[in-house]
Amino acid sequence: MTTAEIFDRGYRRFDGDRSGTLGAVRSLAWHSMRGILGLGRKARHKIFPIVVIVLAFLWPIIFIGLAALFPIDIFADELRPEYWELARFPLVVMAIMLFSAMVVPEALVRDRRNGMLPLYLSTPLTRATYLLGKVLAVMSCLAIVTVGPALLLLLGVTFEGEGPDGPLNWAKVAGQIFLAGTGMAAVFAAVGLAVSSLTDRRAFASVAVVLVLFGSGAIVAGLVEGAEMSENLRVFNVVDMGIEVAPRIFGAAEGEGERGPEASLSDSTYLAGVFGWVGVSAAVLWARYRRIGAV
């Protein structure tokens, strides 16, 4: 004997809040961030993002811990980095590159693999608003490792009484940190998303992003240092273009701290390189998605 029951509910109008396209983009960005960071998924999906984030925050945490135990001026000159120098710290650079290569592809490839992309495009979301949501999600996740370490350092030295003098100077430094981190996130997000849009396999996308990041640096080094070609060719090194945002925003002098040879590029040449990478990446991403149809 069946226990099935039929209830005549009829049709009901939706009486909740309608947030429109903006709300859809916000919701897509939020759920994409959760997917990238492994939230709401099995534990194995959380391990890699957590490891990468810990790598990025390791040195600021060590410095703040030492500053809490000992007078900060004992080791400030030797161990305390400038805020922009954290962008060049090897563990932070590694974290940014790993995030771009291993985590960013999750934002795009997963929707194409499981068939969700055509469903998204059958809703009020258009290709442009869908990509806007994904870009916001990826940049927000990358900002954890581009903005977070320097911001943590700023808060740590402030609590120790060694931060910027006065609220205006503090706000200026915080603004520079956010601006520099956002610029770095934009470069790496653009390249990671563009490369990820070319394949439906996450592993292939990750390998391709790694090849672009490492390959561009190796090729440029060979041409400039090996073949002694123009220094301006350094604009084709995407990693250096990304991490150089921070010292440019903070106005660090050429050769100061741990800056590399790309510091010799003029501001106009450097900006041309950054906008070139972002622009070409955006064009590739849009060209790939404008051909994808809805259900």
Residues counted in the chain = 295
**Which pLDDT does position 1 carry in this prediction?**
55
Specify whether the CB–CB gap between 83 and 173 falls below 8 A. yes
**Which pLDDT does position 77 carry in this prediction?**
54
**Which pLDDT does position 36 carry in this prediction?**
87
**Which pLDDT does position 119 carry in this prediction?**
83
For 81-147, the DSSP string reads: PPTGGGGGSHHHHHHHHHIIIIITHHHHHHHHHTTHHHHHHTSS--HHHHHHHHHHHHHHHHHHHHT
What residues in the chain have per-residue pLDDT under 70?
1-19, 71-79, 253-261, 293-295
Specify whether the CB–CB gap between 187 and 274 falls below 8 A. yes
Q: What are phi and psi of 278, to 5 degrees?
A: -65, -45
**Which pLDDT does position 209 carry in this prediction?**
93
**Which pLDDT does position 64 carry in this prediction?**
82
**Which pLDDT does position 21 carry in this prediction?**
81
**Which pLDDT does position 78 carry in this prediction?**
58
**Which pLDDT does position 76 carry in this prediction?**
55
